[in-house]
Every structure is written in structure tokens, then in C-alpha cells.
Amino acid sequence: MIPSSFDYVKASTVDEAVAALTAAGEDAKVLGGGQSLLPVLRLRLNSPSVLVDVSEVDEMRQVTDEGSALLVGAAVTTYEVMHHDLVTAHVPLLAQTAALVADPAIRHRGTFGGSCTHADPSGDMPTVARVLDAEFVVAGPGGRRTVPAADFFVDFFTTAVGPDEVLVAVRLPKMGGWGSHYEKFHRTAQAWAIVGVAAAVRVEGGTIAEARVALTNMGATPIRAASVEAALTGGPATAEAIAAAAESAADGTSPTSDTHADAEFRRHLARVLTKRAVTKAAGL
């Protein structure tokens, strides 16, 4: 179908984008890569009066080395995330996961920031942001603020980004000394995760010193598997210990039942994929 009419503003700076959103009122939408928004507009599930295109805002197209963290611009494409030297060197989990998002044509246009702001419960990038305790830099009429990942993802398709705000960049800690892995289960013809698990562990002399695990599509937002993290931390980095810890992966989750899988199968997948993701992250 053909989207209903809208005005189009191509922003060249973050300030311009915020000004255009403010001027347009509630009815405006930010356009990133358009790989989620344009399908929505074509199905006429939404009909904004103005689209503010941020895909070529220079500041939002950069990956910056901040010393202990990387600042990844929201308009950096999924494809660029996969291949960027700073990302592959310092946050390999993000590059590995980016390669599992959608398909090549969609990765060429879809953006990291768009994936996070779209906040589809089966999206992969939000889970990586959540497992790494990323910080989201959000700009609005009142200036800029930083939102921790724990507060950024609010509900299904809902984030802390207000209607007159733009996600500018995401700050991710460098992962030197950590092993990591994203394990995803999906149907071949449908890339979206039925369940996904992001794991990062720091192993010291055979012991798991720190562990982080987050789950995709086990609730309305990406969630941390706190009981798995607690069970792993301080324990041996062995297959048995990891398998035992993974048993609690579905505790406290609220997965949906849909045509792809029922809730019980999703809980099963969460346990199995957690075991696999942590095992690979630990280098076993």
C-alpha cells in the first residue's frame, strides 16, 4: 500500500531535528533507516504528519572512542556496526549480534538507534544494550540527558524517548577481558528472534568473576536473567556449572504465546540458549 501523506524534513544537525519535532507537535516521527517505520506506514498502522529524517546527521553517524567506552551514533547502520573496526575490537558482542539482525538489504539501511528506539520485544540490539548496561544519549527541547538501559526500555515498542526527542547515540563499555556471545533462535524465513540470549562473562583462573545475561522476547522488554548471573558469579567456568545455572533462565519471565511459539516453549528455549550462550562466552 501507499503511505498517507506527510511532510518530510531532512535534518542536518540534532538541533534541527529537535526543532522540527517540536514545531510539528505530537504527530511527527523520527525517520532512521525506515526499515521498521516504512512498513508500518505502508500498512497504514500509523500516519504521522511529518517525518524528520536523521539518517544523515553527521554527529549521529560517528563511532567515537571515549577511552573506557564507545559512543555509537544512533544513525550508524546495522551493516556499519558489523564491520566497524572500533566495534569489532572493543564491543565484539555488538558486531556479532548485528550480523544476525534481519538480512543484508535491511542491515544496509536499518540503524542501531532505530533498532533500539523501535523496541520490538523480539529485536536483538536492545538486548545487547541491556546486557552491557549501555547509556542512551537523548536530545530534546530542554537539552540532552543520559538514560541507563534499565530505564530506557519501558514496554512493547515503547522507550524513554519522548515524541519531541531524538536518540543521538548509545554509550557501550569496552569489553576487554570479557568473553561474549549472542545466541538466537528463529525460523529461516523469518529473521526475528523467537528467543535470543546475550551473555558476557569475565573468567579469572577458571572462575567466573563476573557474568551478565539478558534475554530477548521473554517479556515486553529485554530482561536481565538475574538468577543466572548470581548462580554463575564466583562459580567454576565449567560445562556442569553453566548448565546448572542456565536452569533458572526463565525464572521471573513473562513470555507471550504466538504463532511462532507458546510461552512454555519459549521458557525451554531461554534455558537451552542461555546454556549455549554462556558456554561460548566462557570460551568452552
Ligand X SMILES: Cc1cc2nc3c(=O)[nH]c(=O)nc-3n(C[C@H](O)[C@H](O)[C@H](O)COP(=O)(O)OP(=O)(O)OC[C@H]3O[C@@H](n4cnc5c(N)ncnc54)[C@H](O)[C@@H]3O)c2cc1C
Summarize as ranges the residues that interact with ligand X (CB under 6 A). Answer: 29-37, 39, 54, 74, 78, 101-102, 106, 110-111, 113-115, 117-118, 123-125, 161, 166-167, 191-192
Residue of 29, 79, 199, 202 that binds other proteins (CB under 8 A) = 79
Stretch that binds other proteins, among 48-56, 143-151, 155-163, 211-219 (CB under 8 A): 48-56
Q: Which is nearer to other proteins, 174 or 186 (CB)?
A: 186
Binding to other proteins in span 111-170, by CB under 8 A: none
| CA separation for the pair 32, 190 (Å, rounded) | 22
CB closer to ligand X, 161 vs 281 = 161
DSSP state of 12: S
**Residue 276 binds: one of other proteins, ligand X, none (C-beta under 5 to 8 A by kind):** none
Taking CA atoms, 24 is separated from 29, 162, 205, in Å, by 9, 14, 57
Grid coordinates representing 259 are 504463532
Angle at 62 between CA 57 and CA 65, to 5 degrees: 150
Decide: is 53 part of the binding site for other proteins (CB under 8 A). yes
For cell 524517548, the residue is 161
Cα dist. 64→85, 172, 281 in Å? 11, 11, 25
Nearer to other proteins, 103 or 240 (CB): 103
Nearer to other proteins, 136 or 192 (CB): 192
Among other proteins, ligand X, none, partner that 166 touches (CB below 5 to 8 angstroms by kind): ligand X
DSSP E strands, the chain: 7-10, 28-31, 50-53, 63-65, 69-73, 135-140, 143-148, 153-155, 158-159, 166-173, 179-187, 190-204, 207-216, 223-224
Let me know: does 56 contact 10? Beta carbons within 8 Å: yes
Cβ closest to other proteins, residue 108 vs residue 144 = 108
**Residues near other proteins, by CB under 8 A:** 1-8, 10, 34-35, 38-39, 41-43, 51, 53, 55, 79, 102-106, 108-109, 188-191
